[in-house]
Structure 1
Amino acid sequence: MNIKKTRITLLVCFLLFFSTLLQAQERPNILWINCDDLGIELGCYGNKDVKTPNIDQLAEQGVLYENCYATAPVCSPSRSSLITGMYPSAINCLNHRTMDKVPLPEGIKPITEYFKEAGYFCTNGKATDMTKWGKTDFNFETGNLFDGTDWNQRADGQPFFAQVQIFEPHREFYADKENPISSESVDLPDCYLDHPLIRADWALYLETVQHCDRRVGHFLTRLENEGLTDNTIIVLFGDNGRPHLRDKQFLYEGGLRVPLIIRYPKHFEAGKICTQLVSLVDVPVTSLAFANIPVSEHLQGKVFIGDNAEKREYVLGFRQRMGDAVDNSRSIMDGRYKLIWNKMPEVPWMQLSGYKKLEYPAYSIYKLFYQQGKLFYPYSLFMADSKPEIELYDIKMDPMEFENLADYPKYESIKKTLFSTLKSRLSEIEKGETPEHWEVTKEAKESSAKYYESSMRRRGLSSSSSYEDIIEYWEKKLSEKIEK
């Protein structure tokens, strides 16, 4: 009798296990492809200079979102937002590379915890070597949030939530010998001064985007070879905007607008283009919904696809300390008009930034030309000694965001509506925000200065090198690209 009971118990346990396994197999896998500093310079977004066949194919097979925005224009606050579904200033994660990290506020946890509780295997891998951990850069204290680096480490039949971290097109850029792009014929965006070095830098950026595309192609092929294509939802995005002057680290379109493409074969309409506003803070919430995991009420994103999709009226942007560049700005955009609230208007846009001075040829060119009286309008606007407290732009009529409409009577109503909405939202989002202590800010600035000095020495320069010296360095480094 005991033997019979034991057999029945074992059979029930086996059936329960098999039922759970079957259910797990039926749940979709979710793969985030996070491309570092990727703007919308892709063939599927209309750029004719760049060759991105793999990402273009992904867009043809999935849904492309034209108006997706990062919550912050630099990696660490944006990534902190992505892994929690919270705005970065709501969880004290807005200062880039936070020096005094603390645990997340009570009740807030990374979304990997929700996935794990639902039986998902969570991974984060480096695109070039999936045996190694991928970039995290979270601005809060945490242990390892992931179960492994590669989804092939999971149990048989177990669904996965995986992140693949692609470094490109983050600086430093590198050439694409297969598909070189001419700096002379490239279509340089109007927001940049037309200068041979800036053209060469832009062309090299696009070539680095092409390397990024090849990495995406590798994972599309891998999913196909492993028979995972049909049951894997791919979510491809850039963690913040493109790494160029007036873009990354700023609340303009180039710093916040990013690509977003989602593919789920036989479930989402292929080749669809959506113009709705989406924030990257919506991606984690929507990903949980894909897995049919209940979404906690405190999460600040919105589900933007499927039967329970919510329309977003505004996207918000957050900028604070960026390395050694201390600032404090917020933005709100309704799809056409963007308002930027500069809480530190006395700080110039072109304040000293070791990162930009080190990595952007345009930084030294603008500085030198302005000193020499050679930098003309509208590029000279960016060199002002201070910023207006309020900036207002009509993105449709002025996509480069050059003409500030904040003081025009015609736009007073729009300004008031956006500003009052922004302040109202911030009063709720940032009610628990803790300002960074001045000693921590000092430490961050000193750390940036040391990095700048050591990097300049490796280039055969010093921290006191003139703008002429730095430009000469870039001329030698980009000489091959300039000659093309």
Structure 2
Amino acid sequence: MITRHFAPLSRLKHGFLILGLLALSLPNLAAESEKSDRPNILFCLADDWGWPHAGVYGDQVIQTPTFDRLANEGVLFENAYVSCPSCTPSRNAILTGQQFYRLEEGANLHGTLNKKFPNFMYLLQAAGYDIGHWRKAWGPGDFKEGGYTTHPCGPESDFSTFLKKHDSSKPFCFWFGTPDPHRPYQEGSGRKDGIPVDQIKVPGFLPNTDPVRSDIADYYDESQRWDSDVGKAIKALEESGELENTIIVMSGDHGMPFPRCKANLYDWGTRVPLAIRWGAKVKPRRVISDFVSFTDLAPTFLAAADVNVPEDMTGKSLLPMLESGKEGRVEIDRNQIVYGRERHTTAQAKPSIIGYPSRALRTDHWLLILNLQPDRWPAGVPQGSTHPMGSFSDCDDGPTKFAIMDTASSNSLFYQLCFAKRPAVELYDSFKDPDQLVNLASDPDYATTVEELRSQLVSYLKATKDPRFSGEPVKFDEYSYRKGGH
């Protein structure tokens, strides 16, 4: 259980606009009544911001007053996971409410999103919502290849301008994005901005050295800037009088851009911060430990807006949990989560554009990973990659990556954990080994556990029509990689 660090907050002062009855027409009353029954939605998503990097989760170094405020005034989730720890498929899963592997080319970084998959933003727009986005929302990729003629998240605008221009008789849904804290960083920026580098906790798979701590401080610095940006958006909501009837969701699209984090199926790659505030309906200051997926967000937004949830969506609405007033483990069937990955960058040997297919099942106690092509390199080949980044190109370049590459032999612990080939099956005891460093899969004492978890995982993958387990054509390694970088 995560230690709660709720800071006392002053009460919000609500201003109410008193309208003269003679100034109201019946059509305006009807429009206002229709709107009041449907909440606004402000979805705030960072780029590469992972768990547990927020003050409310117990991180004593990073300063995240906006996220902490949302947790205080809403619900904090302890076990929120992405569908895939890679930008494009993670965001596709959010938009569609479906597991990434169901989305064809949308399962890969720098792919597309076929318009045949229902998109919650467009469904809300069809139901009368104004929609829009700022900075990084869907993607990266080429949405036109999927049949879209306009951005899958609506027109781009800064949030303040959107609020001023949108039809106030309608509810709105706005995707508030950012490129932070994606690399590259200005090296030393965290230390320069006063982050106490020596106090940073380094996960066990990275060297606990000053250059690594400084690199993490730079990531913290950009994460804090993101938190500040969301704070400004909330202030704009307050000034517009829309705060209390707006569902505010704040999270990141996957783990931090460090070795064995982003693009990996360990908690440091797939587990994310998540807080949801809805002042009008959701009881505040609650911590929920149920396992929730990014695929649950689309059905949640649609249910809150009283829009039918498409049967194609594999996610399950969080609305009953949010409105229950309960905390801890609220829904007993939310006791595990499934996620995975296909191609991140074109990181394997030239001329191939194949990926590193893996699937995982996470429970309170265990993490089981199935590496479906263990002959491939999990972070990319040491040399000869198709990607411009070159060595281990599924891992973003930066001081931490270079430190492990330059100062460690291929037999070192850090190199083995971050870059070496992995066995077909991995099993971690997340109670005893929270950084998930010791693979127990080959230990005979855990053979029964492996088989039980594998059976549960494969059963889910078949039921949700994962092409790698359902007998459908498997084309993930054939889809185009539509742009360089990640």
Instruction: Classify the TM-score, shorter chain.
Output: 0.7 to 0.9
User: In structure 2, what is the equivalent of residue 300 of structure 1?
Assistant: 314
**Distance in 2, Cα, partners of 1:437 & 1:294:** 30
**Which AA in structure 1 matches 2:236?**
R
**Which AA in structure 1 matches 2:451?**
K
**Which AA in structure 1 matches 2:77?**
Y
User: In structure 1, what is the equivalent of residue 338 of structure 2?
Assistant: 316
User: In structure 2, what is the equivalent of residue 361 of structure 1?
Assistant: 399
1:209-250 Cα deviation digits (max 9, x unpaired): 111111111111111111111111101111111111100011
User: In structure 1, what is the equivalent of residue 416 of structure 2?
Assistant: 380
Instruction: Name the Cα RMSD after superposition.
Output: 2.6
User: Cα gap change, 1:204/1:30 in structure 2, threshold over 3 Å: closer, same or farther?
Assistant: same
User: Cα gap change, 1:438/1:229 in structure 2, threshold over 3 Å: closer, same or farther?
Assistant: closer
User: In structure 1, what is the equivalent of residue 129 of structure 2?
Assistant: 120
Q: How many percent identity over aligned positions?
A: 28
Alignment pair present for 1:37 and 2:72:
no
**Which AA in structure 1 matches 2:368?**
L
**Which AA in structure 1 matches 2:44?**
I
1:368-417 Cα deviation digits (max 9, x unpaired): 333376x3x36534443x31101011111111111111122332222112
SS at match of 1:184: helix
Partner residue of 2:474 out of 407, 432, 435: 435
User: Cα gap change, 1:158/1:210 in structure 2, threshold over 3 Å: closer, same or farther?
Assistant: same
**Distance in 1, Cα, partners of 2:66 & 2:124:** 28
User: Cα gap change, 1:63/1:139 in structure 2, threshold over 3 Å: closer, same or farther?
Assistant: farther
Q: How many residues align?
A: 421
**Distance in 2, Cα, partners of 1:203 & 1:301:** 35
User: In structure 1, what is the equivalent of residue 249 of structure 2?
Assistant: 235
- Structure 1 residue 162: Cα displacement: 1.0
**Which AA in structure 2 matches 1:113?**
Y
The answer for unaligned runs of 5 or more in structure 2 is 1-24, 325-329, 348-354
User: In structure 1, what is the equivalent of residue 222 of structure 2?
Assistant: 208
**Which AA in structure 2 matches 1:137?**
P
- Structure 1 residue 18: Cα displacement: 4.2
Alignment pair present for 1:248 and 2:273:
no
1:145-193 Cα deviation digits (max 9, x unpaired): 3453324332122100111002211112342588421333322222311
- Structure 1 residue 136: Cα displacement: 3.9
SS at match of 1:359: coil
CA contact (8 A) 2:83 2:99 kept: yes
Pairs within 5 Å for 1:163-174: 163-174=175-186
SS at match of 1:73: coil
The answer for unaligned runs of 5 or more in structure 1 is 1-13, 127-132, 453-484
- Structure 1 residue 255: Cα displacement: 0.6
User: In structure 2, what is the equivalent of residue 371 of structure 1?
Assistant: 409
SS at match of 2:263: coil
1:267-300 Cα deviation digits (max 9, x unpaired): 2121111111111111111111111222122210
CA contact (8 A) 1:121 1:151 kept: no
User: In structure 2, what is the equivalent of residue 263 of structure 1?
Assistant: 277
Pairs within 5 Å for 1:104-183: 104-105=115-116, 108-126=117-135, 134-137=137-140, 141=146, 142-144=148-150, 145-148=152-155, 149=157, 150-174=162-186, 175=189, 179-183=193-197
**Which AA in structure 2 matches 1:50?**
I
User: Cα gap change, 1:66/1:136 in structure 2, threshold over 3 Å: closer, same or farther?
Assistant: same
User: In structure 2, what is the equivalent of residue 422 of structure 1?
Assistant: 457
1:84-128 Cα deviation digits (max 9, x unpaired): 111111111211112xx47344xx3111232122211111123xx
**Distance in 2, Cα, partners of 1:293 & 1:155:** 20
Alignment pair present for 1:275 and 2:289:
yes
CA contact (8 A) 2:131 2:174 kept: yes
- Structure 1 residue 357: Cα displacement: 6.4
**Distance in 2, Cα, partners of 1:357 & 1:32:** 27
SS at match of 2:70: helix
User: Cα gap change, 1:357/1:334 in structure 2, threshold over 3 Å: closer, same or farther?
Assistant: closer
User: In structure 1, what is the equivalent of residue 15 of structure 2?
Assistant: none
**Distance in 2, Cα, partners of 1:211 & 1:324:** 30
**Distance in 2, Cα, partners of 1:90 & 1:402:** 30
**Distance in 2, Cα, partners of 1:26 & 1:250:** 41
Deviates more, 1:312-321 or 1:31-40: 312-321
User: In structure 1, what is the equivalent of residue 201 of structure 2?
Assistant: 187
CA contact (8 A) 1:21 1:157 kept: yes
Alignment TM-score, normalising by the size of structure 1: 0.80
SS at match of 2:291: strand
Runs (4+) of structure 1 moved beyond 6 Å? none
Partner residue of 1:403 out of 426, 435, 438: 438
**Distance in 2, Cα, partners of 1:438 & 1:232:** 41
CA contact (8 A) 1:34 1:237 kept: yes
**Distance in 1, Cα, partners of 2:294 & 2:476:** 28
- Structure 1 residue 366: Cα displacement: 1.9
